[in-house]
A = this chain, B = another copy of it.
Amino acid sequence: MQNQDTPVISFIGNSGSGKTTLLEQVVLRLKADGVRVAVIKHSFHGFEMDHPGRDSWRMTQAGADIVVISTSVKVAVIETVSEEKSLDEIIGALPRVDLILTEGYKREGRPAIEVYRSETGKELLTGAINRLAIASDVKWDVGVPCYHIDDVDGVVSEVKKYAARAGAVNG
């Protein structure tokens, strides 16, 4: 497994809290620092990648277990699975990166940034959550740093701090 020691940080939070937008900004900053990043998104609903009529969709519909589209700038691999892959399985198959960020996977108990927005009308997540920090539009005092949801630098600092502890990225 090439990413055995690669730090993994999960961005978790209720639907509508803004995980994708924050993660996008965090990736931008990390990339500017030359960090090689993988993002793994856990998606429960419709699959956003593969659409009726596209060649890849046609091959999947016809029964291809795996469809690969390769160009000079990107390679996409779409695998049909009979049950959802675990995060460990996914990580185990990835090329080597410096840092892995997940969107979702709150049940996997990885070190997490919880993203919160009050307009969701929800509370913070419950359960065995290993929070590094919170990014929120309201202040939470639950024993971990709480950054404003727009404070990307603050969130990135926590990501880097954790990654540096794990020995992969300079803090």
A31 partner residues in chain B, CB cutoff 8 A:
62-64
* A77: min CB distance to chain B, Å: 5
* A30: min CB distance to chain B, Å: 7
| Residues of A contacting B: mostly | mixed
Contact of A72 among B27, B69, B84 (CB under 8 A): B84
A84 partner residues in chain B, CB cutoff 8 A:
70-72
Q: Is A122 interfacial (CB-CB < 8 Å)?
A: no
Contact of A76 among B27, B42, B70, B77 (CB under 8 A): B77
CA distance A99 to B104 in the complex (A): 34
Q: CB-defined interface of A58-94 with B at 8 Å, one 1/0 digit per residue?
A: 1110111111111111111111110111000010011
Q: A39-B64, A65-B97 are in contact. Are A24 and B78 (CB under 8 A)?
A: no
**Chain B: which residue is nearest A46 at the CB level?**
B71
CA distance A129 to B37 in the complex (A): 40
